[in-house]
Amino acid sequence: MKVLKFGGSSVANAQNISLIKNIIAPINRDKTIIVVSALGGITDLLLQTAQLASIQDKSYTSIFLEIENRHLQTIKELIPIHQQSKVLSKVKSELNILETLLEGAFLIGEITPKLSDKIVSYGELLSSYIISEYFISEGIDTAHTDSRQLIKTNNHYGKAIVNYNITNDNIAKHIQECPHQIIVLGGFIASSIKGDSTTLGRGGSDYTAAIVANAIDAEVLEIWTDVSGLYTANPKIVKQAKAIPHISYEEAMELSHFGAKVLYPPTIQPVLSKGINIVIKNTFAPDAAGTLITKNQNRSGKTVRGISHVEQIALLSLEGSGMVGIPGISKRFFEVLSQAGISVVMITQASSEHSICIGISDQDTDLAVEIINDAFSHEISLGKIKPVIAEKELAIIALVGDNMKSHQGLSGKMFSTLGKNNVNIRAIAQGASERNISAVIKKDDVKKALNSLHEEFFEENVKQLNLFVMGVGNVGSKLMNQIQLQKKYLKEKLRLNIRVIGIANSRKMVFNEDGISLKNWEEALSNGQSTDKDLFFQTIKNLNYRNSIFVDNTASAEVSKTYNTYLRNSISIVTCNKIACSSDFNNYQELKDLARQYNAPFLFETNVGAGLPIIDTLKNLMASGDKILKIQAVLSGSLNFVFNNFNDKTTFHDVVKEAQEQGYTEPDPTIDLSGIDVMRKILILARESGNELNIDDIVNTPFLPKESLDTNNNEDFFASLVKHEESFQKMYAEASKADCKLKYVAQFENGKASVGLQHIPKGHDFYNLEGSDNIVLFFTERYPNQPMIIKGAGAGADVTASGIFADIIRIGNF
């Protein structure tokens, strides 16, 4: 014989219930027991209406009507018209009794646990009756049984304890005597020895099914639900979670204890001693294999089987010097809680002789605080123990696996993964069986914590990077393009899954939690909301994704001022905007410190030499113990372009104009031509080589006439270039006469930096620098005479985008 249990969503409406018929159709002529939950959501509605009635809130009647309609509608859709009247009248008469009970609660303005159980039992009572009548109408040989007649409990209403002796006999006898092939029972409900309705705890239909399976020595217990098995983590929160094909009773028990709702925790216990297998299956995808739960230990070699979590947890701590050496304190502590029916979800390792720290359900907090303070009032009044401290809005997250005990370093890996993602751990505990390690964290961090742990333990190192891109002009749009083309390769070869979650330009911004399509991002952005920098940050913060990266492709000082807020929230930064790194030294230093403190890389490779790996190389030299003696460089792609094209056959004005048009200059060309841009770059290189320098410390000998430098807009600037053409031609003529080329050179040596136009003779490394190329010579202790040279295209949207992309990938490999 088999026992099949169908949960709330599987029986939520007529359409879903009709799927069950197909599932039971292939079953042979063996007797089969079907245990069903209330129609999905009805138990909550029953509790809600009872609660409203008890506070004399008349709106309870509208919820009652909703309950009534759901049932009547289901009957009308499920059962052929000519067979409906009997079912409708029976259900209506039951609903009348329910209505009378609610009226009673309303009139007295009170609801006892006993009445609450009576009211809530209507959910399973009605669903089981309707489903059995549906089977009958389909010609299936079916009987309906009121589980309250079989399952006997004590009178701990809300979560009654089963009397197995009586219950097992009742069930075995009833099933044996029942002449029908299918027997439909309501889950969750039972009755006391005196005959009052009781319930087995929320989610308890699974338990009913297990009790029945045990009593009749079922060959298997099938739990049919809305997911395809017990998953490596809650699939509603972790999209990458996978169904676990085979798991042991103990592992399943631990996972459900720590919140894997798909199985009600006490369910395993009745089937354990007889070794009855449990299979978890999906009503909506019956062909999926599901999860097999058996007595056998996990031999797959996998250490961590699953990750589960319980929300709505509070942490209680009792501490004080008066606890040391006094026997019986913990006994009293736990006794008070147990007498009040408060269950302790976890006891943390912070518990010592000096303090006790436990996790309980949030809803029990107020009561727990009251009774504990009461129980220790004497010690508290003497100052020996402090009043109990309660912290709410927490969650427990647990790693579970049979093989965990024989593996060292798992907790280290767990905590460092959480730490890296800035998930603060409030308390930790390890189960005595060493089958679980659990941590208490903030409720708001659950999604991030689950996903990062899942990635670490289950996803063969596929790391998800979540990008939020500000600025999608020249560089930004090239970046989108590059990511789109490379996405597949990165996933397959580097195991990096890059998703762009947010995009903004100066006008609009858009977010998509599933990742913005990189083919149609322009359209999505044009339909987005108005840009608001604070809201952009706030949205990223609230989404609270692991590996969030803010990509700044703007040249905005305003945007660069927001970096510290991002870093403080563990959001990494990749930027081609030079302003932050060339701002006041203290600000630069603070950003670097924040990046370290919050484990959020702050990368700006493109600040110098666009896509050329200049800063990265410098960092590697420094990290390996080398010392920078001198840096000599041509760092302005724009100025190089200008001086490579300027000669006695062109005009300075035209060449600068062309450079601007080709995107080689900043939007404001004076930033390049005044040397400010190069000053910023050499400043950043000097700082990255360990020197405390500010922009004012850099000597800049300008080559532009003062009048051009002092212009306020591009038009005046270009006009002044025309006016001073003669002086530019003179500069050129002098250089040619000396057989030299003009190059704008930046230099750093002995703590001093300078920038300016120089005559570069033939044979010098800079002489043959083409187009907009950059070149850097690093003279170091290891490269004292022959410098390390990095040379190549140092400006342009495509290479800058690829430098940003490289930084993003660096974070992926971090």
Active site residues: 681
Stretch near ligand ASP under the rule CB under 6 A, chosen from 84-92, 202-210, 518-526, 763-771: 202-210
135 contacts: CB under 8 Å, gap ≥ 6: 21, 142, 182, 184
Candidate list 37, 54, 132, 348; residue touching ligand ASP; CB under 6 A? 37
**Euclidean distance between CA atoms 500 and 472, whole angstroms:** 12
Candidate list 9, 32, 43, 636; residue touching ligand ASP; CB under 6 A? 43
| Nearest C-alpha neighbor of 329 from the set 356, 357, 292, 365 | 356
Nearest to Mg ion of 7, 663 (CB atom): 7
Candidate list 60, 106, 134, 188; residue touching ligand ASP; CB under 6 A? 188
Nearest to ligand ADP of 252, 503 (CB atom): 252
Q: Which long-range contacts (CB under 8 A, 24 or more apart) does 757-761 make?
A: 757/643, 757/701, 757/703, 757/731, 759/734, 759/735
123 binds ligand ASP (CB under 6 A): yes
| Nearest C-alpha neighbor of 684 from the set 579, 574, 549 | 579
Alpha-helical regions (H) of 574-724: 585-597, 614-623, 637-645, 652-661, 670-673, 676-688, 706-709, 714-723
Kindly state the smallest distance separating residue 95's Cβ from ligand ASP, in Å: 17
Partner in contact with 192, chosen from Mg ion, ligand ASP, ligand ADP, none, beta carbon below 5 to 8 Å by kind: none
Kindly state the smallest distance separating residue 24's Cβ from Mg ion, in Å: 19
Kindly state the smallest distance separating residue 38's Cβ from Mg ion, in Å: 11
Nearest to ligand ADP of 7, 663 (CB atom): 7
Kindly state the smallest distance separating residue 306's Cβ from ligand ADP, in Å: 6
266 binds Mg ion (CB under 5 A): no
Partner in contact with 445, chosen from ligand ASP, Mg ion, ligand ADP, none, beta carbon below 5 to 8 Å by kind: none
Partner in contact with 564, chosen from ligand ASP, ligand ADP, Mg ion, none, beta carbon below 5 to 8 Å by kind: none
**Euclidean distance between CA atoms 568 and 597, whole angstroms:** 8
Q: Residue 305 — φ and ψ, nearest 5°? A: -90, -40
What's the angle, vertex CA 261, arms to CA 514 and CA 291, rounded to 5? 85
Kindly state the smallest distance separating residue 422's Cβ from ligand ADP, in Å: 24
Nearest to ligand ADP of 134, 224 (CB atom): 224
CB 157 within 8 A of CB 111: no
**Three-state secondary-structure class, residue 613:** coil
**Euclidean distance between CA atoms 39 and 67, whole angstroms:** 10
Nearest to ligand ASP of 205, 421 (CB atom): 205
Stretch near Mg ion under the rule CB under 5 A, chosen from 7-15, 341-349, 390-398, 770-778: 7-15
Enter the tokens of residue 379.
């010690």
Kindly state the smallest distance separating residue 309's Cβ from ligand ADP, in Å: 8
Where are the extended beta strands (E) located within 506-571? Answer: 508-511, 529-530, 548-552
Kindly state the smallest distance separating residue 286's Cβ from Mg ion, in Å: 18
The total of other beta-carbon atoms located within 10 Å of residue 375's CB is 18
Partner in contact with 38, chosen from Mg ion, ligand ADP, ligand ASP, none, beta carbon below 5 to 8 Å by kind: ligand ASP
Q: Tell me, letter by letter, the H, E, C secondary structure of 191-226.
A: EECCCCEEECCCCCHHHHHHHHHHHCCCCEEEEEEC
773 contacts: CB under 8 Å, gap ≥ 6: 634, 637, 640, 791, 792, 793, 794
**Three-state secondary-structure class, residue 625:** coil
Partner in contact with 524, chosen from ligand ASP, ligand ADP, Mg ion, none, beta carbon below 5 to 8 Å by kind: none
Partner in contact with 286, chosen from ligand ASP, Mg ion, ligand ADP, none, beta carbon below 5 to 8 Å by kind: none
38 binds ligand ASP (CB under 6 A): yes
Stretch near ligand ASP under the rule CB under 6 A, chosen from 198-206, 329-337, 692-700, 758-766: 198-206
CB 230 within 8 A of CB 291: yes
Partner in contact with 188, chosen from ligand ASP, Mg ion, ligand ADP, none, beta carbon below 5 to 8 Å by kind: ligand ASP
**Euclidean distance between CA atoms 803 and 574, whole angstroms:** 10
CB 759 within 8 A of CB 742: yes
Candidate list 63, 67, 204, 225; residue touching ligand ASP; CB under 6 A? 204
Give per-residue burial for 15-44: e unless 16+ CB within 10 Å, then b: ebbeebeebbeeeeeebbbbbbbbbbebbe
CB 731 within 8 A of CB 756: no
Task: Convert residues 205-234 into a mask of x (bound to ligand ASP by CB under 6 A) and - (unbound).
Answer: xx----------------------------
Side by side, the strands of the sheet bearing 142-145 are 142-145, 182-186, 32-36, 2-6, 220-225, 277-282, 291-294, 246-248
**Euclidean distance between CA atoms 432 and 430, whole angstroms:** 6
187 binds ligand ASP (CB under 6 A): yes
Candidate list 203, 471, 637, 796; residue touching ligand ASP; CB under 6 A? 203
Binding interface with ligand ADP (CB under 6 A) = 7-10, 37, 203, 225-227, 230-231, 233-236, 255, 260-262, 306, 308
Nearest to Mg ion of 7, 401 (CB atom): 7
202 binds ligand ASP (CB under 6 A): yes
168 contacts: CB under 8 Å, gap ≥ 6: 214, 215
Using CB positions, name the residue nearest to ligand ADP: 7
**Three-state secondary-structure class, residue 809:** helix
Nearest to ligand ASP of 199, 758 (CB atom): 199
261 binds ligand ASP (CB under 6 A): no
Partner in contact with 803, chosen from ligand ASP, ligand ADP, Mg ion, none, beta carbon below 5 to 8 Å by kind: none
40 binds Mg ion (CB under 5 A): no
Give residues 174-213 in contact with Mg ion (rule: CB under 5 A).
203
Residues at the site binding ligand ASP, with contacts judged by CB under 6 A? 7-8, 37-38, 43, 123, 187-188, 202-206
